[in-house]
Amino acid sequence: MGGSILGNRVLRKEDPKFLTTGGVYVDDLLDEPALLGALHVTYVRSTVAHGNITAIDTSDAASMPGIVAVITGKDLGLEFVPSAYNPAATRTLLATDKVRFVGEPIVAIVSNTREEGEDAIDAVIIDYDVLPALIDLEEAMASSTLLYEACGSNVVFDSMVLGLPDNTGDAYFADCEVVVKGRYLNQRVAPCPLEVRGAAAAWGTDGRLTQWLSTQHAQGAVAPLAAANGVDPSMVHVKTPDVGGGFGAKIGAYPEELLLGVIAKRVGTAVRWRETRSESMVGLGHGRAQLQYVTIGGKRDGTVTHYQLWAIQDSGSWVDMGTILAPFMTRPMSSGVYAIPNIECRTTSVVTNTTPTVAYRGAGRPEATAAIERAMDMFALEIGMDAVEVRRKNLIPKFMTPHTTVVGQTYDVGDYETSLNKVLDAADYKGWRAKQKAARDSRAAKQIGIGVSVYVEITGGVGNGESAKVEVLDNGHALIYTGTSPHGQGHATSWAMLANEQTGIPIENIELVWGDTDLVPIGTGTMGSRSLQQGGNAVFAVAAELVNKAKSVAARLLEASEEDIVLDKDSASFHVAGTPAVAKTWADLAMAEKQSGGLVHSDVINVSGATFPFGAHVAVVEVDVETGKVTHIAHTACDDAGKVLNPMLLEGQIHGGVAQGVAQALLEEVCYDPDGNPITSNLADYAFISAAELPSVTVVHMETPTPINLIGAKGIGESGTIGSTPAVQSAVIDAVSQFGVKHIDMPTTAEKVWAAIQSAR
């Protein structure tokens, strides 16, 4: 009778709503009673990258039509708040003394309509004493012009501060037959969720603040909101509407969001805020922005013995999560899938007069993978060995018990060579090499390039577990309360599948509650690909425990002993073994428990550690040699994230991850002019990748279950990005290596490729 639902391509129960009436995002909350009559907040932002504010004149703006208030940081008496990662760096949520990036909020306009707020922006006059803008990372590192004087330097974090040693330089490679050096730019990119930031705030008559927030982590916003508003955390209620993408950039709450309650209190009404895309391009955190000095050494036979990485991380103008990704994510994953016996990695984080950097899909691990994969390719080129064979020679052999690398990271299970073999086979690697040879021999106008990456990454590194509550209602339907925070990942379907697996309650009768801190006070949100392995795991465990509770209730009602009670999942009912005709449904049991707290179980389920998905990608590109233009013509991905709950959702995550990874390799980059003015601050200038630039992705399934959690699952959300970027960059360089090109930084635009060919020839 009816097999397990797990592992099936279950269609999403969320979809009918999204497809017919649309999601309800924060800016769609038109009928929310607490927000009726809400005023609009518009922020006036710095047009200068680095400067002291000498005057702010709000009088003209304040007298414009529909303007209720024009508020400065001094008006609010804002105090300096230290960064969690370097307390010497402090700021006020609205800039008061100094501005440190173009886009930094300085003034809040409160207006009746959004239009009136936008009309008043230019009427706010701000005078600056302009300071030199530090945009170039290495210049900022060495400069005596400091963003935060109290830090003493623009270096705001370094792995040496954690007690880790410095790299030993070239002497490290003294015994190597072959030594290759590289300087790689892992460029700044913009996360660009389709929904920009938005929030709303209203104070209740009970003195509590309700804040609607487009976020990946409602529970994490409570403490900062409480601090910004000067109230106890118990007085803050965060609600998460549908969220139109986050990708890491909506994990933490931003100054614009934290101040809404303060503004609402000052003007005496609820307020709404929604940025424009142009604001989002400078105000939402950026990703990557890491400069890498790499040295790799080994033997002519292809054995890599030494690898050294210095990762210089651009923090942007604040010391936010982006600052610490290099030491805590890049460094631990710096060895990748290779059994390199000697590895050194130092990370240095530097502030610059640019948008602060934050986590962005992969958050430190794409950088680690890109560095080692590029280095392996350069090593292979130097010794004249096929890049795949060099990898094979150095892979950590298959392991089903924990493996600790020389940088001190312990991986759970891994089978890198099998993923490499599977992807090469599925991609017809040999066939493409033959096509490449034919194109080279005939000096074709379009040359073929093939790139291969093998990667491992860390997921579930955030949080130790997750909360879950499963409650069955009088009608036999169920509610799941989860601490995760879906924004496209399909948790309503996935967690319903898990609960259905345990309880037999049909998926269509199971609803998900998330992102409301009154209903789900404990939660670590959705980030770092943790949700299934921690959040789903908790749902699975808690649902199982609920079944046990239900059995004891059934036993009571059926006057039998608990051990004799059978749950028939197909009929979602309980009976005594041997007498299936006398059954109690979930509804029956729920009603029986009504007076004593209901049929519900709640717990926080911990896991023993992070997990390490892995895989291999093959990318094929065509390069028009005369112009340098790159076309991505094929992509094959083998990603092993352990046990697969819903292959359809898994593939969707891989597709989406690949697109963002390809985008970084080929197209996207956030650019500033030397004065710190952003020049890619809208979607016409920023090369957000479209369907026309991408091929379909061939996904090769592979499942090596992890023992870390009940489900055996790792996280898949970021693997596609981590594996694809180096494969595509490698493919482009491979296409033109015949001309002597050894390296091209990302994004490999047509002009860069053309210029590389010219200078190599």
Partner 1 sequence: MKVTITVNGTTHESDVEPRTLLVQYVRESLGLTGTNIGCDTSSCGACSLHLNGESVKSCTVLAVQADGGSVTTIEGLAKDGVMHPMQQAFMENHGLQCGYCTPGMVMAAISLLDENPSPTEEQVRIGLEGNLCRCTGYHNIVKSVLACANNK
Partner 2 sequence: MIPAPFDYKRASSAAEAISLVSEYGEDAKFLAGGHSLLPLMKLRLAQPAVLIDIARIKDLSYIRDAGNHIAIGAMTRHMDVEKSPILAEHAPLLSFAASHVGDPQVRHRGTIGGSIAHADSASDLPATTLALGATYVVQGPNGTREIAAADFYVGFLESALAPDEMLTEIRVPKMNGATWGFQKFNRRAQDWAIVGVAAWKRGTESGVGLVNMGSVPVLATSVAKAIAGGASIGDAAKLAGAEAEPQSDLNASAQYRVHLAEVLVRRALESTSN
Interacting residues with partner 1 (CB under 8 A): 11-12, 14-16, 18-25, 27-28, 30-31, 115, 191-196, 242-245, 247, 276-278, 487-490, 648-649, 651-652, 654-660, 682-684, 688, 690-692, 694, 696-697, 720
Estimate the share of the chain in helix, then strand, then coil, as percent rounded to the nearest 5. Answer: 35, 25, 40
| Residue 651: C-alpha distances to residues 276, 644, 702, 709 (Å) | 31, 10, 12, 21
Decide whether 84 or 755 has the Cβ nearer to partner 2.
Answer: 755
Could you tell me the smallest distance in angstroms from the CB atom of residue 741 to partner 1? 28
Which of residues 267, 687, 710, 760 is near partner 2 by CB under 8 A? 687
3-state secondary structure of 310: strand
3-state secondary structure of 456: strand
**DSSP string covering 139-197:** HHHH-SS-SSGGGSSSEEEEGGGGTPPPP-GGGGGTT-SEEEEEEEEEEEE----SS--
Decide whether 143 or 682 has the Cβ nearer to partner 2.
Answer: 682
| 392 contact, one of partner 1, partner 2, none, CB 5-8 Å limit per kind | none
* CA–CA separation, 146 and 723 (whole Å): 37
| 179 contact, one of partner 1, partner 2, none, CB 5-8 Å limit per kind | none
| 652 contact, one of partner 2, partner 1, none, CB 5-8 Å limit per kind | partner 1
Tell whether residue 755 is a contact of partner 2 (CB under 8 A).
Answer: yes
* CA–CA separation, 635 and 614 (whole Å): 17
Could you tell me the smallest distance in angstroms from the CB atom of residue 747 to partner 2? 9
| 723 contact, one of partner 1, partner 2, none, CB 5-8 Å limit per kind | none
Could you tell me the smallest distance in angstroms from the CB atom of residue 279 to partner 2? 9
| Residue 697: C-alpha distances to residues 260, 434, 451, 734 (Å) | 43, 21, 15, 20
| 174 contact, one of partner 1, partner 2, none, CB 5-8 Å limit per kind | none
Could you tell me the smallest distance in angstroms from the CB atom of residue 198 to partner 1? 10
* CA–CA separation, 104 and 95 (whole Å): 7
| Residue 432: C-alpha distances to residues 387, 388, 449 (Å) | 14, 14, 9
Compute how many residues bind partner 2; rule: CB under 8 A.
Answer: 28
| 680 contact, one of partner 1, partner 2, none, CB 5-8 Å limit per kind | partner 2
Decide whether 22 or 341 has the Cβ nearer to partner 1.
Answer: 22
Decide whether 209 or 697 has the Cβ nearer to partner 1.
Answer: 697
* CA–CA separation, 327 and 312 (whole Å): 10
* CA–CA separation, 747 and 190 (whole Å): 13
| Residue 581: C-alpha distances to residues 176, 502, 576 (Å) | 76, 21, 9
| 247 contact, one of partner 2, partner 1, none, CB 5-8 Å limit per kind | partner 1
Could you tell me the smallest distance in angstroms from the CB atom of residue 323 to partner 2? 28
* Residues 105-164 contacting partner 2, CB under 8 A: 114-115, 118-119
* CA–CA separation, 72 and 48 (whole Å): 17
Alpha carbon distance, N-terminus to C-terminus of the chain: 68
* CA–CA separation, 122 and 358 (whole Å): 29
Cβ–Cβ < 8 Å for 447, 629: no
Decide whether 403 or 530 has the Cβ nearer to partner 1.
Answer: 530
Decide whether 199 or 395 has the Cβ nearer to partner 1.
Answer: 199
| 158 contact, one of partner 1, partner 2, none, CB 5-8 Å limit per kind | none
Judged by CB under 8 A, the stretch of 49-57, 518-526, 583-591, 746-754 that binds partner 2 is 746-754
Which of residues 92, 186, 292, 749 is near partner 2 by CB under 8 A? 749
Cβ–Cβ < 8 Å for 394, 340: yes
Contact pattern for partner 2 over residues 659 through 678, marking x by CB under 8 A: --------x---x-------
Tell whether residue 168 is a contact of partner 2 (CB under 8 A).
Answer: no
Which of residues 278, 418, 602, 698 is near partner 2 by CB under 8 A? 278
| 749 contact, one of partner 2, partner 1, none, CB 5-8 Å limit per kind | partner 2
Report the candidate in 373, 365, 453 with the shortest Cα–Cα distance to residue 717.
365
Cis omega (within 30 of 0) on the bond before 705? Answer: no
Which of residues 295, 334, 680, 729 is near partner 2 by CB under 8 A? 680
Q: How many CB atoms lie within 10 A of CB 266?
A: 17
Cβ–Cβ < 8 Å for 635, 662: yes
Decide whether 24 or 406 has the Cβ nearer to partner 1.
Answer: 24
Q: How many CB atoms lie within 10 A of CB 570?
A: 8
Could you tell me the smallest distance in angstroms from the CB atom of residue 649 to partner 1? 7
Decide whether 73 or 657 has the Cβ nearer to partner 1.
Answer: 657
Give backbone dihedrals phi and psi of 711, rounded to 5 degrees, phi first. Answer: -85, -25
Decide whether 101 or 754 has the Cβ nearer to partner 2.
Answer: 754
| 19 contact, one of partner 1, partner 2, none, CB 5-8 Å limit per kind | partner 1
Q: Are strands 98-99 and 51-57 parallel, antiparallel or unpaired?
A: antiparallel
Cβ–Cβ < 8 Å for 222, 238: yes
3-state secondary structure of 225: helix
Could you tell me the smallest distance in angstroms from the CB atom of residue 584 to partner 1? 34
Decide whether 55 or 692 has the Cβ nearer to partner 2.
Answer: 692
| 754 contact, one of partner 1, partner 2, none, CB 5-8 Å limit per kind | partner 2
| 119 contact, one of partner 2, partner 1, none, CB 5-8 Å limit per kind | partner 2
Tell whether residue 55 is a contact of partner 2 (CB under 8 A).
Answer: no
Decide whether 11 or 755 has the Cβ nearer to partner 1.
Answer: 11
Decide whether 16 or 152 has the Cβ nearer to partner 1.
Answer: 16
Cβ–Cβ < 8 Å for 568, 574: yes
| 751 contact, one of partner 1, partner 2, none, CB 5-8 Å limit per kind | partner 2
| 626 contact, one of partner 2, partner 1, none, CB 5-8 Å limit per kind | partner 2
As a residue count, the chain comes to 761
Could you tell me the smallest distance in angstroms from the CB atom of residue 21 to partner 1? 6
Report the candidate in 248, 425, 452 with the shortest Cα–Cα distance to residue 369.
452
* Residues 600-659 contacting partner 2, CB under 8 A: 626-627, 629
Tell whether residue 354 is a contact of partner 2 (CB under 8 A).
Answer: no
Could you tell me the smallest distance in angstroms from the CB atom of residue 531 to partner 2? 32
Q: Taking the CA atoms of the chain, what radius of gyration do you get in angstroms?
A: 27
Could you tell me the smallest distance in angstroms from the CB atom of residue 693 to partner 2? 6
Tell whether residue 684 is a contact of partner 2 (CB under 8 A).
Answer: yes
Instruction: Give the dihedral of Cα atoms 193, 194, 197, 198; nearest 10 deg.
Output: -150
Cβ–Cβ < 8 Å for 553, 589: yes
| 196 contact, one of partner 1, partner 2, none, CB 5-8 Å limit per kind | partner 1
Report the candidate in 267, 283, 201, 281 with the shortest Cα–Cα distance to residue 239.
201
Decide whether 171 or 692 has the Cβ nearer to partner 2.
Answer: 692
Q: Could you give the angle at the alpha carbon of 132 between the alpha carbons of 130 and 138, nearest 5°? A: 155
| 161 contact, one of partner 2, partner 1, none, CB 5-8 Å limit per kind | none
Q: Given the rule CB under 8 A, which residues bind partner 2? A: 114-115, 118-119, 276-278, 626-627, 629, 667, 671, 679-680, 682, 684-685, 687-690, 692-693, 749-751, 754-755
